[in-house]
Amino acid sequence: MRGIVFINNRVSVDMKGKNKAGKDDLARRIIRLICGIAAAASLGYFAYYCYESSGASDKAEKLSVVKDNAVVNEMIPPTVHLDEKQEAPPMLDEFNALYLKNRSIVGWIKVEGTQIDYPVMQSSNEEYYLDHNFEQEKDSNGSIFIDSACSIWPRSQNIIIYGHNMKSGKMFGGLDKYKDKGYCDKHPVISFDTLYEKGEYQVMYVFNEVIHEETEVAFKYYQFIDANSAQEYESDMEAMSEMSLYDTGVVSFYGDSLITLSTCDYSKGAERFVVVAKKID
């Protein structure tokens, strides 16, 4: 009887060992499967991100060719926009073909030393161009666009221009190079042409900022479009000067035309990175 008991116990122990080993093996297989799926998903997302980034670059280059193709633009009759208060000047020839493709275009921006070389859009729905390109296709890169409250004609004192801070460097992904004063010293001028006039702008202020609560009393750069007086303008300039990461030596006076470039900021304690520049007469 003892022998039988011994054998049964041993068999029982062996079966428990095999069951445990089987469960461990199954668990390892499940973990490997999950890891494999996660890796495949990550690879797929990376491939899609690269595809969209590449596509955005190709499309921007093609649009740039259309913009600079004088022969094509001269063949298209210029369009004249009418404002409720006053008639706009004739559209620049270089925008004729682009305007026929998408009437939401309001200009073109270019910053030397970056990939910023894009059409600038405007929509009454400010969220639209966050995820749509010039062709009005869904695109995670979005487009460069101006605040819906701004006007290119009659021109707002300050035109606020938004763009995503893409890690690929697309859109406003290269704008944070201006955090370095040395870079600003080498690239002090930003080109921004509207449908009606060409313009070069000299960088004045560079700063990080947060989005304030609506009820909070503070200077909100994203609400500064038109100053009601010289005193108000000077106050706004002083507020931005105090926030600026460094002194560019550039000053502005009431009546100057400005642009404000705004993008997301990933540094600690900030939400936006902003570059303000004034038009060179």
By DSSP bridging, strand 105-110 and strand 189-194 are antiparallel
Burial of 123 (0-12, 13-18, 19+ CB in 10 A): middle
pLDDT for the residue numbered 83: 44
At 267, the amino acid letter reads S
Q: Alpha carbon 245 to chain centroid distance?
A: 21
**What is the distance between the alpha carbons of residues 5 and 2, in angstroms, rounded to a whole number?**
5
pLDDT per residue as tens, the chain (281 positions): 444 444 445 444 455 555 555 666 666 676 677 666 655 555 555 555 455 555 656 667 766 776 676 555 555 454 444 444 568 899 999 999 999 999 999 999 999 999 999 999 999 999 999 999 999 999 999 999 999 999 999 999 999 999 999 999 999 999 999 999 999 999 999 999 999 999 999 999 999 999 999 999 999 999 999 999 999 999 999 999 999 999 999 999 999 999 999 999 988 778 999 999 999 99
Distance of alpha carbon 275 from alpha carbon 281, whole angstroms = 19
Beta bridge partners of 191: 110, 200
Whether the Cβ atoms of residue 221 and residue 274 lie closer than 8 Å to each other: yes
Say how many residues make up the chain.
281
Q: According to the model, what pLDDT value does residue 269 have?
A: 79
Q: 263 with 273: CB under 8 angstroms?
A: yes
Torsion of CA 42, 46, 51, 56, to 10 degrees: 130
Counting DSSP H helices and E strands in the chain, the numbers are 5, 10
Half-sphere exposure of 88 (CA within 13 A, CB side): 20
What domains are defined for the chain? 70-279 (2.40.260.10)
